Amino acid sequence: MNIGITGASGVIGRHLSDLALRRGHEVIAFSRNPKRVIPGCEMRPFTTEAAPAVEGCDALVHLAGESVLGVWTAAKKRRIAESRVEGTRRLAEAVAKMKRPPEVLVSASAIGIYKEGGDLPLLEDAALGEGFLAQTGKSWEHEALEAKADRVVLLRTGIVLAKQGGALPLIASAFRLGLGGRLGPGTQWMSWIHLDDLARLILFCIENRDLRGPVNGTAPWPVRNAEFTRELAARLHRPAVLPVPAFALRWLGEFSNELLGSKRVLPGVATEHGFPFRFPELTGTLADLL
């Protein structure tokens, strides 16, 4: 298939592009920098100002958008909302103009869309939340559903663990300096997924014609923050004796709520359809990545 990928130069996009090429697909990589070169891919521009040229794509994967990591200032929140919502709207407009619409659009979303669940497992039909990230996710998904693709998959991802990029290298750096510790009470659930499993799940959604609507992009065994802290400290052979009190995270703005909140998200749809996770549990994941 010809697979178009927005955000193809990001951590997830690059891994997905490599995997798709190895499987024999052709990749059209959309990037904000049209001069960027991704080996093996046809390059096309993608911005929030104009509809991209998506003709020739049998499938589209929409990953582009401002990272949610960092301090949520007013400007940061505006960039997150505009890049995610406006970017998806532009993509949907482009699909609507296609003579032959793609068979499927896989649009990245986030588990931040869910309402706090405490210890309860959250599947794809769980209640949605009301905070900034939840509201952004709702708008983001609404725009994706406006696309005229035959199928639209809303991939709600958890914390993506990768060797380079994303949250893990930042967290590991603190632990290597002896500054690691649980966040707040440490009882909150962390729903995560290995980068390779996420890329494979995206292709699974493309290739499996029964899949549509919300799909949780998380590993089947989420962990509490305290367990994540212990596992990471053991893997790095570093102590983790400096817990970070909740009030010390408030400088991150509303992003601190995402770090301290508890969402035990399970991949119900992926499991039901027989997706084979290579890294279902945290110990093996950290061993592979570190």
Backbone angles phi, psi at 272, to 5 degrees: -60, -35
As a whole number, mean pLDDT of residues 264-277 equals 98
Q: What is the pTM of this model?
A: 0.94
Q: Which of 108, 80, 85 is nearest to 258 (CA)?
A: 80
* Residue 32 pLDDT greater than 90, yes or no: no
Per-residue model confidence (pLDDT) at position 49: 81
Per-residue model confidence (pLDDT) at position 5: 97
Q: Name the band, by pLDDT with cuts 50, 70 and 90, for residue 240.
A: confident
* Residue 179 pLDDT greater than 90, yes or no: no
Per-residue model confidence (pLDDT) at position 282: 97
Distance in angstroms (rounded) separating the CA atoms of residues 112 and 128: 9
Let me know if 149 is exposed, middle or buried by CB neighbors in 10 A (0-12, 13-18, 19+). Answer: buried
How much of the chain exceeds pLDDT 90, in percent?
Answer: 77
Lowest mean pLDDT among 142-146, 175-179, 285-289: 175-179
Per-residue model confidence (pLDDT) at position 284: 97
Distance in angstroms (rounded) separating the CA atoms of residues 150 and 110: 22
* Residue 50 pLDDT greater than 80, yes or no: no
Distance in angstroms (rounded) separating the CA atoms of residues 140 and 168: 25
As a whole number, mean pLDDT of residues 184-192 equals 95
Per-residue model confidence (pLDDT) at position 244: 85
* Residue 273 pLDDT greater than 80, yes or no: yes
E strands, the chain, in order: 2-6, 26-31, 42-45, 59-62, 104-110, 121-122, 151-157, 159-161, 189-190, 192-194, 213-217, 223-224, 264-265
How much of the chain exceeds pLDDT 70, in percent?
Answer: 100
Q: Which of 275, 177, 171, 274 is nearest to 231 (CA)?
A: 171
As a whole number, mean pLDDT of residues 141-155 equals 95
Per-residue model confidence (pLDDT) at position 126: 97
Judged by DSSP in three states, 180 sits in coil
Per-residue model confidence (pLDDT) at position 245: 84
Q: Name the band, by pLDDT with cuts 50, 70 and 90, for residue 69.
A: confident
User: DSSP character for 249?
Assistant: G
Average pLDDT over all residues of the chain: 93
Domains and CATH numbers, the chain: 2-289 (3.40.50.720)
